[in-house]
């Protein structure tokens, strides 16, 4: 079936993987990638699909309501996959207004434009879908409930959360109460509420997903994994917040993109799905894996660069543990992660080591000045 799909934030990390998947897998669809190209958006992420005849790029700000109205009509958009956002917690602590503007008002602007356009059509909302991509961080933080002596990593993707079940550990479910702590997660929570309110008030056919931490190629090197791979390579200090005890649940980005494809097509309207890897790691253990992998691939001595680990002041409001229960998605739509962590991390490290030019391009200019300022204040 012919469809006209708008993907917002398609020049960013996850968005670029979603655009690539859709352009390649659905040659019968027209794909419009709308992105403001902030510091995090980079069209170099999409070099391999930019010449496809079914692909268009539009440089625009989702907060520009008039522009959103025009472009939805111009491209006769019938499906929206909304990823555009400010996404880095540390930046949100420094500049919360930008997060409220883009994540809350930008999402509202897109919702309202979609509502006006779709309600003006003879068929109304029939065959339409607004898919909002959100994060597990809206749920707040989980306790470290594993018993003494049983420590993460819990990499149980293949056995679907057997650690959690065996040890009665807590994790985020679709009905977990929202309890965001950072300006980033507060802004994402607010946007989720607006999306659901548009369904309840106007009948907007929407779906929301909340995903755990992603990793893989094309992630901006301000986030833990690409930043640390690059620093290990160049033997720069690795700034570990607090004691490195915080736990994150890591999912390979292509598995997230596959879940988005499935849910866009088959997810139930007005429903929520959690997406995660059943793959919990303490930061410090994950960092050791990164050091080990980079050193091995560069032919250095095993764990030669452990002394780069530098404990720095903790992040304000630093959530102790995130862990997603994605059994609903597995049960109802048959999705599960296809990459084991070892394979995903090996691919990821190799990609950054082989794409130094990409890293150099994105780490020049504004990015460096920004971080100089942040670290000067620590
Ligand atoms: P990213 O920061 O890499 O990319 C965001 C993209 O949005 C960039 O291309 C940027 O230019 C664009 N953008 C920002 N403001 C815009 C605006 N006002 N108008 C138009 N475009 C704008 O982010 P990401 O890591 O790819 O995350 C994508 C989405 O997935 C976000 O909504 C994020 O909250 C969510 N998410 C991310 C993770 C993760 O681990 N990275 C996990 C769960 C959910
Ligand atoms: P990050 O990649 O920023 O993702 P999020 O905050 O959305 O989970 O950080 C992942 C974890 O790594 C988080 O617990 C904070 C920690 N961290 C550091 O210890 N040092 C760093 O320089 C960064 C960027 C993150």
Give 317's DSSP letter.
T
Counting from 1 in the atom list of ligand 1, the atom nearest the Cα of 184 is 34
Q: Is the CB of 42 under 6 A from ligand 2?
A: no
Rounded to two decimals, the pTM is 0.96
* Closest ligand by atom to 36 CA: 1
Q: Is the CB of 224 under 6 A from ligand 2?
A: yes
**131 an active-site residue?**
no
Looking at CATH, the fold of the domain delimited by 3-375 is given as Rossmann fold (3.40.50)
Coarse DSSP helix, strand, coil percentages of the chain, rounded to the nearest 5 percent: 45, 15, 35
Going from N- to C-terminal start, the domains of the chain cover 3-375
Q: Can you tell me the distance from the alpha carbon of 109 to that of 126, in angstroms, rounded to the nearest whole number?
A: 21
- Measured in Å, residue 202 CA sits from the centre of ligand 2 at 38
pLDDT of 159 reads 57
Q: Can you tell me the distance from the alpha carbon of 229 to that of 350, in angstroms, rounded to the nearest whole number?
A: 10
Q: Is the CB of 37 under 6 A from ligand 1?
A: yes
Q: For residues 175-196, b (16+ Cβ closer than 10 Å) or e, as one string?
A: ebeeebbbbbbbbbbbbbebbb
pLDDT by residue, tens only, the chain of 378 residues: 899 999 999 999 999 999 999 999 999 999 999 999 999 999 999 999 999 999 999 999 999 999 999 999 999 999 999 999 999 999 999 999 999 999 999 999 999 999 999 999 999 999 999 999 999 999 999 988 787 888 888 876 655 677 777 777 889 999 999 999 999 999 999 999 999 999 999 999 999 999 999 999 999 999 999 999 999 999 999 999 999 999 999 999 999 999 999 999 999 999 999 999 889 999 999 999 999 999 999 999 988 999 999 999 999 999 999 999 999 999 999 999 999 999 999 999 999 999 999 999 888 754 445 545 655 554
Atom 29 of ligand 1, nearest CA residue: 83
**325 an active-site residue?**
no
- Measured in Å, residue 314 CA sits from the centre of ligand 2 at 10
- Measured in Å, residue 223 CA sits from the centre of ligand 2 at 6
CB 182 within 8 A of CB 246: no
């Amino acid at each position: 079936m012919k469809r006209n799909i708008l993907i917002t934030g398609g020049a960013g990390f996850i968005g670029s993987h979603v655009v690539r998947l859709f352009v390649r897998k659905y040659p019968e669809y027209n794909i419009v990638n709308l992105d403001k190209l902030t510091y995090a958006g980079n069209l170099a992420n999409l070099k391999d699909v930019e010449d496809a005849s079914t692909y268009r790029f539009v440089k625009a700000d989702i907060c520009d309501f008039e522009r959103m109205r025009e472009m939805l009509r111009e491209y006769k958009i019938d499906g929206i996959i909304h990823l555009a956002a400010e996404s880095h917690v540390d930046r949100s602590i420094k500049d919360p207004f930008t997060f409220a503007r883009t994540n809350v008002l930008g999402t509202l602007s897109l919702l309202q434009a979609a509502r006006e356009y779709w309600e003006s059509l003879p068929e109304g909302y029939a065959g339409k879908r607004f898919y909002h991509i959100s994060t597990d961080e809206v749920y707040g933080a989980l306790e470290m409930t594993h018993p003494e002596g049983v420590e993460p990593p819990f990499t149980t993707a293949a056995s679907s959360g057997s650690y959690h079940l065996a040890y009665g550990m807590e994790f985020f479910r679709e009905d977990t109460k929202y309890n965001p702590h950072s300006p980033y997660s507060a802004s994402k929570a607010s946007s989720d509420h607006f999306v659901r309110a548009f369904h309840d008030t106007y009948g907007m056919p929407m779906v929301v997903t909340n995903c755990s931490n992603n990793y893989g190629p094309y992630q901006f090197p301000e986030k833990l994994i690409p930043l640390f791979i690059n620093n290990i390579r160049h033997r720069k200090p690795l700034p570990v917040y607090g004691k490195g005890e915080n736990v994150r649940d890591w999912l390979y980005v292509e598995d997230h993109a596959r879940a988005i494809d499935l849910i866009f097509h088959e997810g139930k309207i007005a429903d929520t799905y959690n997406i995660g890897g059943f793959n919990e790691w303490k930061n410090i253990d994950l960092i050791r894996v990164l050091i080990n992998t980079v050193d091995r691939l560069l032919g250095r001595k095993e764990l030669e660069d452990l002394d780069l680990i530098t404990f720095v002041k903790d992040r304000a409001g630093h959530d102790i543990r995130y862990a997603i229960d994605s059994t609903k998605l597995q049960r109802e739509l048959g999705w599960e992660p296809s990459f084991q962590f070892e394979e995903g991390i090996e691919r990821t490290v190799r990609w950054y080591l082989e794409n130094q030019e990409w890293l150099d391009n994105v780490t020049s200019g504004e990015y460096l000045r920004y971080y100089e300022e942040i670290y000067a204040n620590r």
